Structure 1
């Protein structure tokens, strides 16, 4: 009963967060990569060159997000959405019209900055600031928008690609962003006053204080968690960026391979909602210690998979992994470092994650050009997650007493 009361009382704000997540999809790798073959053919790019271009554009967007993320500490989500969402729609239109390689770099940069970067920043920061006691649950519910987008966009646009010119589909992508914009703007008309304007003791972090971004960046905790921040976006992005390559290498029909994405999404939704409850009950640190295990297992299974049944098992594990990711990291920053400067802190961590999403496609694309197909790279990726997971375990174990003092 309490869940229905929570949803009823906060439906307006949760819906805004979910729609912001959903509307970020045209800037996400799983969407852009649908057109990888067409873009490479149009601009005469190899896998490595396309990956390098994508990595460069995403890296620049990450650097921009490092500073732009702090805007959410000073401006309302509604005001920022008024700029970000039309900008994302216009960038989609630019993709449909562009004929220049230089223009392609700029367009990918803007798609990544506005879509993957700022849209996510607006949604996640708002949930972390607006909710305290049920922060994990609020983050989980708002992240459902991204989950549904991840399930729907690849299947729908991959099917449309068989019947429509690829450039025409970017007009449709622009329309999907514009279609949600008026509703989001209306939902945010009654936006809550940002908590950063007040002293909120219950939302302080370790040592019973609110950490600034510079203090977080100087903390050994942040740097020991760096491999954890980079890993999922780097190799998870590569999973979608190389989806056409994976299907070709494994000998699987692309549409059938992409049909596994909704299964992953369904599991991610269940895990995300469950994760929010576990975070609220046990704390984000305890859940964080197990965060990278499904990533490790998923890449091992997909490496070994010889049929779509094996791929299905791996996508179930990827669903668990992405379900945890959608909620856990933002909740961790808020719990361990406080909420007063959560926009700047989240912006810094998101910029690093965006940087990771640049490194993955670049590295995997170059290795493919050198003769190492992506499935053969997956054992090394699993080893990466093992090492990163050990570091997470050490950090949480060593920091627990500082968090207890804050309670």
Structure 2
């Protein structure tokens, strides 16, 4: 009942964040790849050529994102969201009307920058800024927009492409963004939420606000980044080379595909579970544990050949994805405050996009050089294990400063605990 009350009280802000994630689908890989065959046919591209174009456009978007993230620290969220939705609509139109490879590259670059990049960035940054004591639950709910988009849009695209053609479907996507997404999102997020507007007796951590320069001078930031970059690198790699993996293992591709449904369901459940745990224990205290399911998934994929291992592997990935999507949204404001959160998050998102772009390419080159793929996956699992130990040591140093415990009983005086991670460390 308390959870439903939380949703009802904050429906407009949660709904705005959800829709930003939901409509980011137009720039996500799963949506763009639905036009893969048509693009290669119309532009006379091989799989490798189109893959290289997509990787370069994605890397360019990752390099650009940090230069846009600061806008969320200077302008109201609804204005940044409005401009971003319009730019994403322009990108979908560019995809529809492009007639040359340079225009195709530009269209994909804009889709990745404003879809996967800025739409998600606005949702995560504003949610992290607007919610304090219930940040975990809020993050869990808005990130469900990504999963809803993944489940909803592929079928819609296929049906629309059958009726209007692939280019016509991209035009329809632009219309949806302008006529539906733009007015709805702006109406929902037009009024800012005060993170201090929590019920009496709620524990609200007071976090020192780091500047971008202070973050970049801190060795701690790079250590944490090495940990949080593991899921996008490994997850993208495993799915990109899924056909090769099934061939090595002698698995049925249909059974492997069926595992995605299991993974999606587990992801949703554990995103919500992680939201509750973040509010109960803090993102910092959960940091040492979030890579453990991914570690297990890697070791299973690398060493087990029975077809039943697919579902264990997918369950572990689902747990990892669920925890990552919620935990990493709550972690940065908990560590570095919210005053410069837009700039800080844009950098971390850019690094994650870079990791997801490099993963398939690096492992593909190693495969071509004769490095066994199972050995590479074992190395990924070992890396996760090492980073788990590193995060446990780091959290052990920072947890006493965080001092996040249970909220006082209802009716008690408001308590403020301070997280002061010494922003001027070098």
Residue aligned with 2:229, SS:
helix
Residue aligned with 1:289, SS:
helix
- Return 5+ residue gaps in structure 1 as ranges: 196-200
Note the alpha carbon deviations across 1:16-62, whole angstroms, 9 max, x for none. 10010111112122333344455445545555544433332222211
Higher relative contact order (CA 8 A, sep 6+): 1
User: Equivalent residue for 2:406?
Assistant: none
CA shift in 2, pair 1:389/1:180, >3 Å: same
After superposing the two structures, state which structure 1 stretch, 257-266 or 336-345, moved more: 257-266
The answer to whether the Cα contact below 8 Å between 2:133 and 2:205 also exists between their aligned partners in 1 is no
Q: Identify the structure with the greater helix proportion.
A: 1
After superposing the two structures, state which structure 1 stretch, 285-294 or 150-159, moved more: 150-159
Cα distance in 2 for residues equivalent to 1:56 and 1:218: 29
CA shift in 2, pair 1:104/1:374, >3 Å: farther
The answer to whether the Cα contact below 8 Å between 1:69 and 1:121 also exists between their aligned partners in 2 is yes
Query: Normalising to structure 2: TM-score of the pair?
Result: 0.82
User: Equivalent residue for 2:410?
Assistant: none
Cα distance in 1 for residues equivalent to 2:373 and 2:27: 23
User: Equivalent residue for 2:282?
Assistant: 283
Q: Which residue of 180, 203, 206 maps to 1:204?
A: 206
Please state how far the C-alpha of 1:290 moved relative to its aligned partner. Answer: 0.8
The answer to whether the Cα contact below 8 Å between 1:61 and 1:109 also exists between their aligned partners in 2 is yes
- Return 5+ residue gaps in structure 2 as ranges: 197-202, 404-416, 420-426
Q: Alignment RMSD, CA only?
A: 3.1
After superposing the two structures, state which structure 1 stretch, 275-284 or 170-179, moved more: 170-179
Please state how far the C-alpha of 1:76 moved relative to its aligned partner. Answer: 1.6
Aligned length: 399
The answer to whether the Cα contact below 8 Å between 1:155 and 1:255 also exists between their aligned partners in 2 is no
1:4-403 to 2 correspondences below 5 Å: 4-40=4-40, 42-154=42-154, 157=157, 165-178=165-178, 179-192=180-193, 202-205=204-207, 209-242=208-241, 257-303=256-302, 309-367=308-366, 377-403=376-402
Query: Normalising to structure 1: TM-score of the pair?
Result: 0.86
The answer to whether the Cα contact below 8 Å between 2:13 and 2:188 also exists between their aligned partners in 1 is yes
Please state how far the C-alpha of 1:138 moved relative to its aligned partner. Answer: 0.7
Residue aligned with 1:24, SS:
helix
The answer to whether the Cα contact below 8 Å between 2:271 and 2:323 also exists between their aligned partners in 1 is yes
Note the alpha carbon deviations across 1:129-174, whole angstroms, 9 max, x for none. 1111101111111111112112333455467778885444434544
Cα distance in 2 for residues equivalent to 1:176 and 1:310: 41
Residue aligned with 1:153, SS:
helix
The answer to whether the Cα contact below 8 Å between 2:267 and 2:320 also exists between their aligned partners in 1 is yes
